[in-house]
Amino acid sequence: MSPLREIETRGGTYFAHIDATVDKGAEIGAGTKIWAGAHIFSGAKIGESCIVGEGVGIESGAMLGDFSKVQSGVRLYGGVEAGDYVFFGPNATTTNDRNPRAFGDWELSKTVIDTGASIGANATLIAGNHIGALSLVAAGSVVSRDVQPGSIVLGNPARFHGWVDVSGAVISRDPERPDEVAQMLVDPRACIETYLQRKKAGLTQ
């Protein structure tokens, strides 16, 4: 017997492990799979054909686009807005308050993660920053400022370390953005889907 429950949603069904918690009021897209120990809070929004790994928490007010992958132990707090084809490596962490205290009022700071960006394992995103399309945040990095589209950043604090192509391979260390990167950023989703089609056809290495 499969541990995945099939649950009706708008446009089809999604799948949730019997040990996952999906609160009433969460919006889950068709084809998405949610694995054991995950908790999707009321008011969270997840797109179509996503994978949500074990022990993931997606809180009220967090948004995840289509075809995204969230690996084990990730926490997406309210105010995190991730686009399509976004990747979160194991135990990547977001925040939503730049000046946190256990007392008094707090102010929500949004974090926006654009289409095709990848957040490496154990990386931390400080609230209020913008992670550009098709960028790559290296594992263990602490992001305290905006990340340029198509760039790779690493370290604590994360700093520019070059430019990547659609596959994530570094193609330049120069400060100036290469034409290849500029071209793929014209329409990041179309660039990703063309890459996937070519890969399926065996036309990429």
pLDDT digits over 83-111, tens only?
Answer: 999 999 999 999 999 999 999 888 999 99
Structure tokens, 42? 């009321």
Q: Are 177 and 192 in contact (CB under 8 A)?
A: no
- Residue count of the chain, please give it: 205
pLDDT at residue 203 in the model: 79
Structure tokens, 181? 């990167």
Average pLDDT on 104-124 reads 96
Which of 190-199's residues contact partners 24+ apart within 8 Å by CB, and which partners? 191/116, 191/134, 191/166, 192/85, 192/115, 192/116, 192/134, 192/166, 195/166, 195/167
**202 pLDDT band (50/70/90 cuts)?**
confident
| Ramachandran area for residue 99 (φ above 0: left; ψ -120 to 50: alpha; else beta) | beta
Average pLDDT on 132-141 reads 98
Q: What is the mean pLDDT of the chain?
A: 96
Domains contained in the chain, CATH given = 4-98+106-200 (2.160.10.10)
Min mean pLDDT across 106-110, 127-131, 154-158 is at 106-110
pLDDT at residue 175 in the model: 94
**205 pLDDT band (50/70/90 cuts)?**
low
**2 pLDDT band (50/70/90 cuts)?**
confident
pLDDT over 70 percentage in the chain: 99
Which of these, 21, 11, 55, lies nearest to 41 by C-alpha position? 21
- Tell me the pTM: 0.95
69: pLDDT strictly greater than 70: yes
pLDDT at residue 125 in the model: 98
**What's at 111, amino acid-wise?**
T
